[in-house]
Amino acid sequence: MTGSSGSDTPGQLPRDVYDAVLPPWRSAIRSVILKAVEIESPFLARMQNRLRNPWLDVYFLYTSSLGTHTFFMIALPILFFFGYHELGRGLILVLASGVYLSSFFKDLVCAPRPFSPPVTRLTIGTHHLEYGFPSTHSTNSVSMALFIFGHIHRAYTEHSAISDLVYSGSCVVLVAYVISIVFGRLYMGMHSATDCVVGVALGAGIWGAYVMVCDTIERLLSSSSWTGKGVPCTVVPVCLLLVHFHPQPVDDCPCFEDAIAFISVILGAFVARWHAVYAGIDDRLLQTVMPGGYGDEWTLRETLHWCFIACLKVNVGIIVIFVWRLLAKSVLHLVLPPLFRALAHRFDLPNRRFYTPATDYAHVPVENGLRPIPSVIDLPSALEVSGVYAEDARDGIKRRGRGATTKQDLLGKELPAYQGKELENGKGTTHLGAEVKHYDADVLTKVVVYAGIAIFGVEVMPVLFSLMGWGIKPW
């Protein structure tokens, strides 16, 4: 493990900066959450001192990858490759809502993670670069566990499709999964109890809302009436508006990129489902059975044949999605900047803070933006992060930016990238002395790429598998 300064984590600028930059109601919410973090950090540190050992470190470090959006982005297409379309759409909606809403509240509140030191923060990848409140891992784990439990409970009580032992075992596994993810966030010093409690409540609320609207959504996506025909005209603008109206953070936080990814997946999945129904693809090509999946008794030869086809489907499907990511990113980064520059002469294009407009750069660097292979491939890159203690966050203004008492002073002394900008409208350009990390072309690039991933996973690849004789449904 390697060390990193806690100044890398957002939410730990002097408090006066947030009070000056944020609207009063957002600053008031942040003050409440910040107080909870200050109180809980020493307790989390003492808990770590008593419980930490190398085995638990490894366990919680790697099980945390099961709660990341990257894991879900790889795992979800496989459901569609094997004909579990309704289950896949439900999981996409539940998980995407969790990622978007938790990212929305993170950027809205701008609250830090537990202070390090005294807490030792363990993380995989770059999750420590996001705000702390609420816990996205907790939200996703609870919403997904409740979603799966709903299907298991229905199969057990209404269809008698599973035995008592399978039902009980499934419930135990789901409870263990949630406890591992939620408690793991505390053990690893990534979240306070407040972050996790709110994350759990948010996940439960998302699942409850899904239960109420899931049948309506499925009817609309599968309807041949005029309401169903309006799906693209409704889903596309709503998803784009959700991207546009995501709150502006004070720090450079990657929460917005997570929100873009999953909202775009909803867009692509719903449009793909709509097209499959209206083009007649759903009945003709998405209901075929895989070779070897016929009958109640399989011979060894049929079983091996089925397993071989299943492996081919998974590998070919994921490779095609990776190739789409690479090609689409390269083409869009080539086409979008000059297009944005041309439009900027006629329109006042929207631009988020920390995202440099196309008028200020010639091209997007090759290494910037989406990688062809998701970061889950880099799981061994674990970090141990050391940060600033609560006193630094409370009193840092005395050491950094002393005497900055007005909003303009704070913006000028503490946040040079904000000069000439307003928090609420997000207009303006990056300060000339600031490091360029994001480009406006990245936003639309991610929308197109992730919507395309969903379209490939939900419709294109299953149709190809069916046409190639590999089938869709396992039996």
CA–CA distance, 114 with 6 (Å, rounded to integer): 10
CA–CA distance, 286 with 473 (Å, rounded to integer): 8
User: What tokens appear for 150 in the block?
Assistant: 């709903």
Determine the pLDDT at residue 369: 45
Closest CA to 11 of 129, 99, 102, 182: 129
CA–CA distance, 149 with 137 (Å, rounded to integer): 18
Distant-in-sequence contacts of 411-416, Cβ < 8 A, 24+ apart:
411/20, 411/21, 414/13, 414/14, 414/17, 415/13, 415/17, 415/21, 415/250
Q: What are phi and psi of 300, to 5 degrees?
A: -60, -40
> Can you tell me whether residue 306 is helix, strand or coil?
helix
What's the pTM value of the predicted model, to 2 decimals?
0.82
What confidence tens digit (pLDDT) does each residue in 394-453 have?
Answer: 443 333 333 333 444 434 444 434 333 344 433 333 333 345 467 778 888 889 999 999
Q: Which residue has the tokens 């407009």?
A: 357
Beta carbons within 10 angstroms of residue 333's beta carbon: 20
User: What tokens appear for 231 in the block?
Assistant: 């799906």
User: What tokens appear for 191 in the block?
Assistant: 């979240």
User: What tokens appear for 238 in the block?
Assistant: 């709503």
Determine the pLDDT at residue 239: 87
> Can you tell me whether residue 3 is helix, strand or coil?
strand
| Residue 205 contacts residue 213 (beta carbons within 8 Å) | no
Residues 6+ apart with CB under 8 A from 127: 68, 190
Output the tens digit of pLDDT for each of the chain's 475 residues.
333 344 467 888 888 888 888 899 999 999 999 999 999 999 999 999 999 888 988 888 888 777 565 666 677 888 999 989 999 999 999 999 999 999 999 999 999 999 988 888 887 766 677 888 999 999 999 999 999 999 999 888 877 778 889 999 999 999 999 999 999 999 988 999 999 999 999 999 999 999 999 888 888 888 755 555 677 888 888 888 888 888 888 888 888 888 888 899 999 999 999 888 888 887 778 888 888 766 556 677 778 888 899 999 999 998 998 899 889 988 988 888 888 888 877 777 667 777 777 677 766 665 544 444 444 333 333 344 444 333 444 443 333 333 333 444 434 444 434 333 344 433 333 333 345 467 778 888 889 999 999 999 999 999 999 998 888 888 7
Residues 6+ apart with CB under 8 A from 43: none
Q: Return the domain boundaries, the chain.
A: 2-467
Round the CA-based radius of gyration of the chain to a whole number and report it: 24
Cis status, amide bond into 134, omega within 30 of 0: yes
Q: What are phi and psi of 256, to 5 degrees?
A: -60, -40
Residue 116 Rama label (left phi>0; alpha psi -120 to 50; beta):
beta
What is the CA angle 131-135-141, rounded to 5?
Answer: 145
| Residue 344 contacts residue 360 (beta carbons within 8 Å) | no
Determine the pLDDT at residue 68: 61
| Residue 140 contacts residue 95 (beta carbons within 8 Å) | yes
| Residue 255 contacts residue 107 (beta carbons within 8 Å) | yes
Residue 353 burial (CB < 10 Å; 0-12/13-18/19+)? Answer: buried
CA–CA distance, 283 with 74 (Å, rounded to integer): 26
Residue 420 Rama label (left phi>0; alpha psi -120 to 50; beta):
left
CA–CA distance, 45 with 452 (Å, rounded to integer): 43
Beta partners for residue 2, in sequence order: 383
Q: Output the CA torsion sign for 38, 39, 44, 47.
A: positive
Helix (H) or strand (E) holding 410: helix 407-413
Determine the pLDDT at residue 261: 86
Determine the pLDDT at residue 450: 92
Determine the pLDDT at residue 163: 85
Determine the pLDDT at residue 443: 85
Active site residues: 137, 191
**What is the DSSP track for 228-249?**
HHTHHHHHHHHHHHHHHTPPPP
Residues 6+ apart with CB under 8 A from 96: 262, 263, 265, 266
